[in-house]
Structure 1
Amino acid sequence: MADTILGVGAGVFILALLWVLVLLLCVLLSRASGLARFSGIFVFLAALIVTLVLLFFPRATEVPTPEVEIKIMDKFFIGRYVLLAFLSIFFLGSLFLVLIHHILEPIYAKPLRPN
């Protein structure tokens, strides 16, 4: 089931988007005047027909096809750990240099009275 999002298929999101747009359109048409005010009923009925068609005539089968297990092989295993070791050494060395040159830099006291 590679084409699912959060465990549900694309049809659920299509229906949710359809009904959000229909409700928004019905609210907008309810503020209109004249015959346009009652066209919200036709929009609602059209969305109901589209929903029923999508529910009663699904494209996918109800039983999903069995998935083939894919084994992932890490061919660069040793090189990745060597790279991690070098980066760790350089990070600790640069952290030590920052500690010496910036954090532990001496601050000399200024004399209170000039001579």
Structure 2
Amino acid sequence: MAGTVLGVGAGVFILALLWVLVLLLCVLLCRASGLARFSVTFVFLAAVIITSVLLLFPRATEVPTPEVEIKIMDKFFIGRYVLLAFLSIFFLGSLFLVLIHHILEPIYAKPLRD
């Protein structure tokens, strides 16, 4: 497939660049004062609209027409599910540790002075 880098086309890089610029602009606008501070919402909504337009109206066909029949073989099926199970367990364990150490941390009362 022509025009691809790492198996993806230019549209992925355009979307990534758009969202990096939007994130940078939102961080800069959050530090502003007055009405400029509230324009973060409009910047974010504009980025969502541009992203949805770029995703819903593609220029090329999604799947190129193959000249020969292509068989897709999933050789890493079991390994992918083992990795998914490991990451799920790690995520749940991390969530539990955040719950214990940050959310349920006791707040001690200050002694009253007479």
For the aligned pair, the TM-score class normalised by the smaller chain equals 0.5 to 0.7
> How many Å apart are 1:53 and its aligned residue?
0.3
> How many Å apart are 1:64 and its aligned residue?
1.9
After TM superposition, the score normalised by the length of structure 2 is 0.56
Structure 1 runs (4+) deviating above 4 angstroms are: 65-113
> How many Å apart are 1:63 and its aligned residue?
1.6
Distance in 2 (alpha carbons) for counterparts of 1:106 and 1:33: 36
C-alpha distance 110-87 of structure 1, shift in aligned 2 (>3 A): same
Residues 1-55 of structure 1 deviation map (CA, whole Å, 9 limit, x = unaligned): 1111110000000000000000000000000000000011100000000000001
C-alpha distance 103-33 of structure 1, shift in aligned 2 (>3 A): closer
RMSD between aligned alpha carbons?
Answer: 16.2
Q: Percent of counterpart pairs with the same letter?
A: 91
Larger gyration radius, structure 1 or structure 2: 1
C-alpha distance 67-2 of structure 1, shift in aligned 2 (>3 A): farther
Residues 47-101 of structure 1 deviation map (CA, whole Å, 9 limit, x = unaligned): 0000000011100101225599999999999999999999999999999999999
Report what 1:98 is aligned to: 98
> How many Å apart are 1:112 and its aligned residue?
91
After TM superposition, the score normalised by the length of structure 1 is 0.56
Deviates more, 1:60-69 or 1:2-11: 60-69
Gaps of 5+ in 1: none
Gaps of 5+ in 2: none
Aligned length in residues: 114
